[in-house]
Amino acid sequence: MRELPADFFRAPYAFYQELRSDGPVHQIRLRNGVRAWLVVDYDAAKAVLRHPDIHKDPHSATGARARQVGAGASGVTSANNRLSHHLLNADPPRHSRLRKLVTPAFAPARMDALAPRVAAIADELLDGIADATGPVDLLDAYAFPLPITVICELLGVPVEDRARFRAWSAAVADMSMSTPEGMRAATNAVVNYFDGLVALRRTNGLGDDLISQLLTVTDDGDRLSHDELISTAFLILVAGHETTVNLISNTVLALLTDPPRYRALHDDPTGIPALVEEMLRYNGPVNIATLRYSTAPIALGGTEIPAGELVLVALASANRDERHFADPTALDPDRASSHLAFGHGIHFCLGAGLARLEARIALTRLVARFPRLRLAVEDDDLRWRESILIRGLLDLPVDPAGAPAMR
Ligand code: HEM
């Protein structure tokens, strides 16, 4: 039985490399005492993510170990509440039904049309940073408010409420970050909030926002139930809070620790899309994918996971698997991309297009505006979130008008 090492959240990759050299799947005890099977290599991760006997619905958690957690939390929301009726808690055929109803809201044309607004929000936030005297927390001033503002506008929820969402999202979404009481209180607050937003649309009429679209969507007469609607809206809000922010900040960090690369992108930003794609592999925002449960024995590279167990897929480890990626510890935007940062199979991220768009625009505007941006702390003093789900910083102190980047 393995345990996460003391410096896991700061530096998970050495631990993952050691595990991979010892096999594709390991039994692990998490800090909160929960025991699970951790899948660490690329091929095994892909196999688990599309395996018909690996389920997402916490009610499939019938085994003793899985029950430990299944009754409590599924990685995005707890199992038995009104926010749990979403895609990431569903298996076919319910998942197929929900996915069919929700997918049109993420139509690529709709996402692409957001580009000018994303750029305008970015520029407004960068104006604020330009006015600052002294170091700025780039996470708080840029990487966080940008995707949150976009997701609030897209959903049609008031941006002024974003501080509340941030607290709710952290409390509800990440079982390793909150107490059961905190989770319950936040869940009730979110349910009341979304009930109110939906009621407003029913009385005042629909807009062109995503909640309105989800309210009217139909497929052969089928529609989302009220609880499916608020669960989906909340899932989208959480995804907007917890992921893109870290894609932006993890990428900025990689650039600031390599000034010539930052300078090169300032001179020629055409390399930004390839860099974003490689960053998803190299240090993406999701460390370990959301919880899964085995419903039958699963053979994986010589190991058998019994039925009724909790299964965790370490995407961050699969994305550094030396059997799949040549020189995986190198940040190489020229490599062909086949990372698992957005998952794989039926739960592949619905917001991948939006996340890529936002990260590309955020970085393009930042490097153009601040050619001399630099880190305001030593690399070793950076603070990482203590979450097994999210790989991201707590803050990113920068000096916007730092010394000229060295060539
Ligand atoms: C860089 C940013 C993002 C990353 C790395 C990311 C990653 C992921 C991953 C790994 C999954 C699958 C989880 C699993 O199988 O356990 C997922 C699912 C999902 N993501 Fe994202 N995500 C990002 C941004 C977004 C955004 C911006 C949205 C919405 C606006 C979004 C919406 C969703 C939804 C709805 C699902 C569930 C899909 C399903 O179960 O069918 N994501 N995401």
Candidate from 349, 387, 389 with most ligand 1 atoms within 8 A of CB, to mutate: 349
**For residue 182, what pLDDT band results from cuts at 50, 70 and 90?**
confident
**For residue 176, what pLDDT band results from cuts at 50, 70 and 90?**
low
pLDDT, mean of residues 156-162: 87
Q: Which atom of ligand 1 is nearest to the CA of 286?
A: 5
Residue 325 included in any domain: yes
248 half-sphere exposure, CB direction, 13 A CA radius: 33
Q: Which atom of ligand 1 is nearest to the CA of 247?
A: 1
Question: What is the Å distance from ligand 1's center to 121 Cα?
Answer: 22
Residue 407 included in any domain: no
Domain range enclosing 34: 2-399
Residue 298 included in any domain: yes
Q: Which atom of ligand 1 is nearest to the CA of 344?
A: 15
Q: What is the DSSP letter of 303?
A: E
State how many domains the chain has: 1
Position 63 scores a pLDDT of 60
pLDDT, mean of residues 318-347: 97
**For residue 65, what pLDDT band results from cuts at 50, 70 and 90?**
low
Rg (CA), the chain: 21
Q: Which CATH number covers residue 245?
A: 1.10.630.10
pLDDT by residue (tens digit) across 146-155? 999 999 999 9
pLDDT by residue (tens digit) across 100-136? 999 998 999 999 999 999 999 999 999 999 988 889 9
- Number of helices and strands in the chain (H, E): 17, 11
Residue 153 included in any domain: yes
Question: What is the Å distance from ligand 1's center to 373 Cα?
Answer: 30
pLDDT by residue (tens digit) across 213-258? 999 888 778 899 999 999 999 999 888 778 999 999 999 999 999 9
Position 314 scores a pLDDT of 98
Q: Could you tell me which residues are beta bridge partners of residue 39?
A: 25, 313
Measured CA to CA, the distance from residue 124 to residue 166 in angstroms comes to 21
Measured CA to CA, the distance from residue 265 to residue 269 in angstroms comes to 5
Cα four-point dihedral sign 320, 325, 327, 333: negative
More confident residue, 355 or 179: 355
pLDDT at 95 exceeding the cut of 70: yes
> In this prediction, what percent of the chain has a pLDDT beyond 90?
71
Question: What is the Å distance from ligand 1's center to 236 Cα?
Answer: 8
Residue 287 included in any domain: yes
pLDDT, mean of residues 165-183: 72
Across all residues in the chain, what is the average pLDDT? 90
Residue 406 included in any domain: no
Residue 318 included in any domain: yes
Residue 177 included in any domain: yes
The tokens for 301 are 């590279």
